[in-house]
Structure 1
C-alpha cells in the first residue's frame, strides 16, 4: 500500500474519531462543566488513558512492530502468528495482575496522580503545606475531600480499560504490520460513539454523572477489543491466546519496551506530570483537559497517523537494507506533516479563544472557563510542531531496534518538564504547565534530530530545505489574516450559539483558502507531488 494512501487511511479515521471526540467533549462540558466532578473523572480516566497512549502509540508499538515485521519478512506468517499469540497470552496475564493491584491500591494511586485533590474545593496551598497534608493523610486517611473520594471510586471503575486497550494495541500492531490500517485507526471512533450515546441517551436518567461516564469507558474498551478481534479474523490472522512463554523474542520485546515506555510516552508522561501539579489549582485539571482535546485533533490527524504508518514502513525498508529509501520516506513524511501541522499551529495560536468559546461555552461551561482554557490552548499550540516531529523522528530509532537512545532523550525532556512546571506554575498557574510541556518537547525533538544526523541515519534533503520556509511563510500570512478576521467577527463570537458557530466556520474556511492558495502559488505544496505519493508503493 502506498505510504501516502496509508497515511490518509489512518488520518481519515483519526479525523472522524477526533470530530466525534469534539462532540463528546462538548457534551461533557455542557453536562458537568469544569467543576469537581469533571476534575475527578478526568483524573480517573487519565491513568488508563495514559497507558493506552503509551502502549498503542508508544512503547509496545515501538518494540513489537519491528520484531513482528522482521518475522513476517524473514520467517513467514506462521512464525509471526506464533509470536503474536505468545505476546497476547503473556500480556493478558500481566495486565490482569496489574489491574487488580491498581484497583486495590487506588487511593494511593490517586494520591500520586492528584495530591491537590486532598484540598477542599476552592482551597489553595503551598508545596510545603501540601506535603504536610499528604503526610497527615498517610497517617490518617479518613476525612479526605469529596473530590478525592470521588476520583478514587471512579478510578476503580475505569482502570480495567487498560486491560482491553493494551490487547487492542497488540492487535493494532499486528494489523499495521500487515499494512491493514483501517480497523486499528477506527477503534477510537468506538470510544467516542459510546460516550455520545451515554451522554445523550443514558445520562438524563441518572443523577451520578461521573459513574455513568466511568462505566462508559469500560464498555467502550470491550467494544474496541471486539472490533480488532473481528478485523484480525477477516485478515485470516487469528491471535488466539496460548500459554504464556518467555521465548527469546519475548525477552527481546520486554527488554526493548522498558526504555520505550519513557521514550515513546514522554509527551504523555509530561502531560500527566502537569495534571499532578494542576490539581493544586481549582478546575485547572479541567482547563488543561479541554485545551488538550483541541490540539489533539491536528496531533492525531497528523503526528499519530504519520508515526503509525512510518514505523512499519521504515522497519521493512531497513530490513531490506534500503537506507536511501528509508531516508527519503522520512523526509517526505516530515514534509507532508509540516505542510499540515504549521498552518494548524498558526491557526490555534491566532484564535484559541474563538475555538474554545464555540466548542465548549455551553451549559455549565462559563466564560471564565473559556478564557482559562484558551490561554492553555495557546501555550500548548506553540509545541504542536514538536509533538508531531517527535512522532516522526522516534520511529527512525525504533525501526533500527533502538529504544535506548530515545529513552535518554525522553528522560532529559521529562526532568526539564518537571522543573519548568514547578517554576512556571508558581508564576502563571495552569498556563505555566502547558508552557513547560511545550518547551520540554522542543528540547526532545532537537536532541533526537542531532543524534540521528550525527549517526548518519537521517539527512534533510534539498526538497525539504527548499519547501519548509515556504510552508512557514504561508502559515504566518494565514495567521495574520485569521487574527484580523477574529477581531472583525468579535460581535458574532459573543452572540448566540448559531452566530458563534457561523463566525468560526467563516474563519476556518477563510484560513484554509488563504493557506491553500498561497502555499500552492509559492510552491510550498504541489498537487502533482501529492498525487505521485499516493501512487507510489
Structure 2
C-alpha cells in the first residue's frame, strides 16, 4: 500500500510540475485577455464533466465493485463487468458529446453570458469549445481503464498515463501554433489529442495486464444498476462543487476581459497546497476513523480527528500566510513572461490573496467531512454543500462589481468559511467532534506564529527594490531566500513555544532514513 501511495504521489508531483510549465506557456503566449478567457472557458466545460462523471464519483463506485468481482468471481467476471460498464459509459458520453457539439452556442450563452457582449470572444469560445469537448469522452473512458488498472494494483501505469495531458499540451503550444489560426486553437487541439494519448496508453497497459477492455454493447445489468446507485451520492456531492466553479466562471465572464484568466492562474497556484494537504488528509483519515468507530473506540476516534486537524493546520496556516505576503512576487516570477505582463501578474496576485484567505477552510472541509462519512452520514455534507452554493452565489453577486476579478475568489473563500462553520457546529452538536484544550492552544499559537511570519515577509518585501533588468532572476533569488527564512522563523517560533520539538522531529527523520537505507542493502 505504501509503495503504491509513493508511486502515485511521485507521478502526481511530476504532473503538477509539468502542469505549471504548461500554464506558464499559456500565460506567456496568450497573456490575460479575450483569447485566454475564451480558451479557459472552452477547457472548463469538458473538464467539469470529467470531474463530475469520470474521476471522482465513477471511480469511487466502480473500483470497489470491480475489485470485489475480481476477488470473489475471478478475472472473467471482473473483465465482463468492466467491458459492460465501458459500453454503457461510452454510449452515454458520445450521446452527450454530440448534443454538446450541436448546441454549443446555446451552452456558451449560459456558462459565459458576458462573452455575448463582444462577438469575437464569444465566437472563439464556441469554436474552441467544439474542439475540446470530445476530451470529455476520451478522459472519462480513460478514468474507467485507470480504475481497472488500480484494481489490478498497476498504480504506476495508471498514474503515469495522465502525464500525457501536460506533455501533449506543452508540445501543442510550442510546435502546432504555426500551423493553426492561433495559439488558443493549438492549446485546444492539445487538450483533445492528449485525451487520445491518455486513453491509448491506458488501453495498452490494460492489454499488457491481460485485460481486453473492448466495450460490450450497452445493456443495463443488475451490477450496473448497483454501480449507478453507488455513484449517485458522489455525483450529487461533486455536482455542488462543479456548480460552484461554474458560478465563478459565469460571474468572471461578466467582468472586464481578462478576469477569467487572472482568476485561473491564481487558482492554479492556490490548488497546490490544497491538493496536497486536503486530499491527503481526507483520504487517509476516513478509513482510520471508520475502523475506530466500528470497534467502539469513540475516544480514540476523537483523538485521531484532532490529530488530523492539528497536522493540516500546522502546514496550511504558514502556507496561507506565505501566499498572502508573497503573492505578487510569486505570480510575477512564475507567470510575468511574454504576453502576461507584470501588471497582469499583480492583478492575478490580488485574486490569489482572496483565494488564500479561504485556504484553511478549504482544507478543513476535507478533514471534517470524513467525520460524517465514517458514521454513515453521507447526506449532511451534501445538504450543507447546497447551502454553501447559495451563499457563494450571493457573495458573488454582491462582490462582482466593486471588486471585479477579486470578487469571485473572495466569494468562494467566504462560502468555504461558512461551509466549515456549519460542518463544525453540526459535529459539535452531535458530539462527533471534541476540541480538547491542547488542540485549541496549539492552533492559537500556530496562527500567531504564521501571522508573525507574514508580517516579517511583508516588511522584507517593502524594503526590497527589484531592479528592472534581470527582474525574473532577482525575483527568484529573493524568493529563494525569503521562503526558507520564513519557514525557519515559523518553525523556530513553534519550537520556542514548545508546540514543536525540532530536535525530536529531526531525530525521527534520521531514524526513518536509516531504516530505509538498511532495507535497501
TM-score range for the pair, normalised by the shorter chain length: 0.7 to 0.9
1:286 paired with 2:261, answer: yes
When residues 303 and 532 of structure 1 are mapped into structure 2, their CA distance, relative to the original with a 3 A threshold, is: farther
Task: Give SS of 1:429's match.
Answer: helix
2:331 matches 1:356: yes
Is 1:29 aligned to 2:3, yes or no?
no
* In 2: Cα distance, 1:240 partner to 1:314 partner: 37
1:152 equivalenced with 2:150 (yes/no):
no
Q: Is the 8 A contact 2:51 2:238 kept in 1?
A: no
Please report how far the alpha carbon of residue 196 of structure 1 lies from its aligned counterpart in structure 2 after TM superposition.
Answer: 1.7
Deviation at 1:111, TM superposition (A): 0.8
Work out which of the residue numbers 95, 102, 105 in structure 1 matches 2:103. Answer: 105
Shift of the 235–457 alpha-carbon distance from structure 1 to 2, 3 Å rule, reads farther
Instruction: Give, in angstroms, the shift of residue 174 of structure 1.
Output: 4.5
1:440: which partner in 2?
Answer: 415
Q: Which moved more, 1:336-345 or 1:180-189?
A: 180-189
Asked whether 1:170 is paired with 2:144, we answer yes
Q: CA RMSD in A?
A: 3.6
Equivalent of 1:420, from 395, 400, 403? 395
Aligned partner of 1:383 in structure 2 is: 358
Report deviation, 1:467: 4.7
Distance across 2 between alignment mates of 1:75 and 1:398: 29
Deviation at 1:368, TM superposition (A): 2.9
The answer to whether the Cα contact below 8 Å between 1:89 and 1:242 also exists between their aligned partners in 2 is yes
Match of 2:39 in 1: 41
Q: Equivalences for 1:79-478 in 2 at 5 Å?
A: 82-120=80-118, 145-176=119-150, 181-232=155-206, 239-281=213-255, 282-307=257-282, 313=287, 317=291, 333-395=308-370, 397=372, 403-452=378-427, 454=429, 467-478=442-453
Q: Which of 456, 460, 464 lines up with 1:489 in the alignment?
A: 464
User: Which stretch shows the higher mean deviation, 353-362 or 191-200?
Assistant: 191-200
Deviations 1:278-317 (A, max 9, x none): 1112211111111111112222222234445556x46984
Contact 2:290 2:375 in 1 (8 A): no
CA–CA distance in structure 2, aligned partners of residues 475 and 19 of structure 1: 26
CA contact (8 A) 1:203 1:209 kept: yes
Structure 1 residues 328 and 68: CA distance shift in structure 2, 3 A = farther
Native 8 Å contact 2:111 2:250 kept in 1: yes
Contact 2:172 2:189 in 1 (8 A): no
Tell me how far 1:59 sits from its aligned partner: 2.8
**Match in the other structure for 2:455:** 480
- Does 145-154 or 503-512 show the bigger shift? 503-512
Paired residue for 2:56?
A: 58
Give per-residue Cα distances to partners, 1:492-527, cap 9 Å, x unaligned.
Answer: 588522112222222223233333444556344745
- Find the residue that maps to 1:58 and give its secondary structure: helix
Alignment partner, residue 518 of structure 2: none
| CA distance in structure 1 between the aligned counterparts of 2:85 and 2:138, rounded to whole angstroms | 14
Answer with 365-374 or 259-268: which moved more. Answer: 259-268
Report the counterpart of residue 477 of structure 2 in structure 1: 502
Render the CA deviation track for 1:319-352: whole Å, top value 9, x for unaligned.
9868768777665554443333222111111111
Shift of 1:166: 1.6
**Is the CA contact 1:264–1:394 (under 8 Å) kept in the aligned structure 2?**
no
State the distance in 2 between where 1:118 and 1:253 align: 40
Larger mean Cα displacement after TM superposition, 324-333 or 422-431: 324-333
Deviation track 1:452-495 (CA, whole Å, cap 9, x = no partner) reads: 55556666678855654454344333322322222233425885
- TM-score using structure 1 length: 0.82
Task: Quote the Cα distance in structure 2 between the aligned partners of 1:363 and 1:65.
Answer: 44
TM-score (norm: length of structure 2): 0.84
Deviation at 1:10, TM superposition (A): 4.1
**Partners of 1:342 and 1:471 within 8 A in 2:** yes
Say whether the 8 Å CA contact 1:187–1:228 is kept in structure 2.
yes
CA gap of 1:499–1:67, structure 2 versus 1, over 3 A, is same
Q: How far apart, in 1, do the equivalents of 2:186 and 2:420 lie? A: 39
After superposition, the Cα gap between the structure-2 partners of 1:209 and 1:161, relative to the gap in structure 1 and judged at 3 Å, is same
What is the count of residue pairs matched by the alignment?
508
Whole-Å separation in 1 of the counterparts to 2:212 and 2:241: 33
Q: 2:324, 2:356 within 8 Å by CA — same for their partners in 1?
A: yes
Q: Distance in 1 between matches of 2:320 and 2:473?
A: 26
Paired residues of 2:289 and 2:305 also in contact (CA < 8 A)? no
**Structure 2: runs of 5 or more not aligned:** 516-521
CA distance in structure 2 between the aligned counterparts of 1:421 and 1:73, rounded to whole angstroms:
49
Is the Cα contact below 8 Å between 1:492 and 1:500 reproduced in 2?
Answer: no
